[in-house]
Amino acid sequence: MGCMEDFIRAYKTLSDTTIHLMKKVPEGKEDFKPATGDFMTTGQLLHHLGDTQRFFRLILEGGFRELDKNFLEYMSNHPSSSTEKAIEYYKSEYGKVIELLNLMDEEEFQNISRYFWTVDDEPMPFIAFNIIEHNACHKYQLFMYLKMMGLPNINSFALAGEDDKLVEEIIKFFEMAHKAYDEKQTANI
């Protein structure tokens, strides 16, 4: 696998598990925030998760510098969304990013450079993995918000998008994966 394929695989997993957590936000909790002060409300955080996808799309299209000129103003008046609208926004922008990535080949992904809050343009692999880090930080932030809301079953299985499965099913999957790995290692000896 190349760097781009690895990135897309990690990006898809992160997006799937982020949407899974977004779906857990109960209706009417958009104004929840963990404390007074400069914290995003849950609705703002939900919207910002979609923004992470839009920012990446704009970077891929070469248009992020224009947004960045007014970025502080945008963030100080950060929009809020319901869970349903935020998921719709996230999926729409994510789909556009995947379409743009699918137009690239490995060489272009490795060699293209774009503006990314820096004086000089940055290589796409650096940007791509920073986008994952940014999205993951906000996914974990949402996870903590859900825990602070006192919702049941918000645990590491929910964080990984696996909480809808029976524990026995998860254990069986890991046992099969370990067995297959061991067999492959034995065959390679």
The answer to whether the Cα torsion of 53, 55, 60, 63 is positive or negative is: positive
Q: Any idea where the domains of the chain sit in the sequence?
A: 3-154, 164-189
pTM, whole model, 2 decimals? 0.84
pLDDT at 98: 96
Pairing state of beta strands 122-123 and 113-114? Answer: antiparallel
The Cβ of residue 141 has, within 10 Å, a number of other Cβ atoms equal to 17
pLDDT at 182: 77
Interval 10-33 mean pLDDT:
95
Cα separation, 44 vs 38, in Å, equals 12
CATH architecture group of domain 3-154: Up-down Bundle (1.20)
Cα separation, 189 vs 184, in Å, equals 9
Query: pLDDT tens across 39-81, in order?
Result: 899 999 999 999 999 989 988 888 776 666 666 676 677 899 9
CB 30 within 8 A of CB 81: yes
Query: pLDDT tens across 92-115, in order?
Result: 999 999 999 999 999 999 888 777
